[in-house]
Amino acid sequence: MTSVSEMNEIFVFIVVVLRGSGYMTRLREEDVLYIAESLKEYDKQLVKNVGKSLAGIAAHAIGRTEKEIYDLHHATSVAIIPVTCGEGIINGFSGSVQKIIEHLGFTAFVTGHKDVGGLAEAVKKGAKVIFLADDDHFVAINISTGRVVVDNGEATGKGYAAALDLMSGGLREREVLLLGAGPVGTGAAAFMSGHGARVFVYDVELEKAENLKKTVPGVQIVRDFYEALPEYKLLFDATPAPEIIVKEYVREDTMISAPGIPLGLSQGCLPLMADRLIHDALEIGVAAMLFEALSN
């Protein structure tokens, strides 16, 4: 069996390699393959585990109710533009974003044209919000306000933090161990701190943790990941490192919000966490992006 110190070394290695090369998780076709057909089931599971649906979580992320969003924006049309630059189109990506948005109750379409032609088509067809992604960015732009650009990273962080707030019965005065101080971790820290949580952040690059601390005052830095892990009941995994949370570190009351792709839990840990884990490839992030794009 892999020892704790070996695991620690593997973790440090993985994260240094990933971060050092400027790596950012790029979704693969297999990550999005079953999203559309699983949406209803996924929403039921969210209601059971978190207490709210996808729309309820996204509304909580921006401090609104679902009703407020629907009353103001039910007629909104959303366009998703396939983007070919860099590594190109991911089969099923645009279609999955469309299905998630439709599932939330809005009209959505994928443009027939790609790239610039898609942008022209989206505007011509009256889209109010436009979603598009290349290899480094995934944004939602509200073209009717002309100024709202929502990045997927921070919105995802907020969405998953809102879900953890709901699942845990409220983060006020609670301690959360946040793994990863990138854009997702920063969005999560801002939400959790704003909701009264005591946030402890670990990042293999200390400088990133220090920057997050400057952006979100009150956050404290943790220097030893595996020493800290068993001390916390609430975990937020915003790293792209696989299998870093093994079953020896989870308790029967541990709750994990894990937007990182791939999932940071070991296979052995998954069955134990089935009802206390929040994780998907795209759904909460897209819902949080859309509601945030509509909120301004």
- Given the rule CB under 6 A, which residues bind ligand 2YH? 24-27, 82-83, 89-90, 93-94, 133-138, 152-153
Place of tokens 């898609």: 118
CB of residue 23 to ligand 2YH, shortest distance in Å:
10
CB of residue 195 to ligand 2YH, shortest distance in Å:
23
Comparison of 90 and 234: residue with beta carbon closer to ligand 2YH: 90
- Integer Cα distance of 43 and 47 in angstroms: 6
CB of residue 285 to ligand 2YH, shortest distance in Å:
8
CB of residue 5 to ligand 2YH, shortest distance in Å:
32
Residue (of 2, 6, 61, 9) closest to 204 by Cα position: 9
Mapped onto helix, strand or coil, the DSSP state of residue 73 is: helix
Q: Most distant CA pair in the chain: distance in Å? A: 59
Strand pairing category for 77-81 and 107-110: parallel
Comparison of 11 and 131: residue with beta carbon closer to ligand 2YH: 131
- 197 neighbors 170 (Cβ within 8 angstroms): no
Comparison of 24 and 221: residue with beta carbon closer to ligand 2YH: 24
CB of residue 158 to ligand 2YH, shortest distance in Å:
14
Distances (CA, A) of 34 to 37, 110, 135, 281, 290: 6, 18, 21, 10, 21
Comparison of 200 and 236: residue with beta carbon closer to ligand 2YH: 236
- Integer Cα distance of 182 and 166 in angstroms: 23
Comparison of 4 and 89: residue with beta carbon closer to ligand 2YH: 89
- 204 neighbors 12 (Cβ within 8 angstroms): yes
First to last CA, the chain: 51
Comparison of 234 and 281: residue with beta carbon closer to ligand 2YH: 281
CB of residue 228 to ligand 2YH, shortest distance in Å:
26
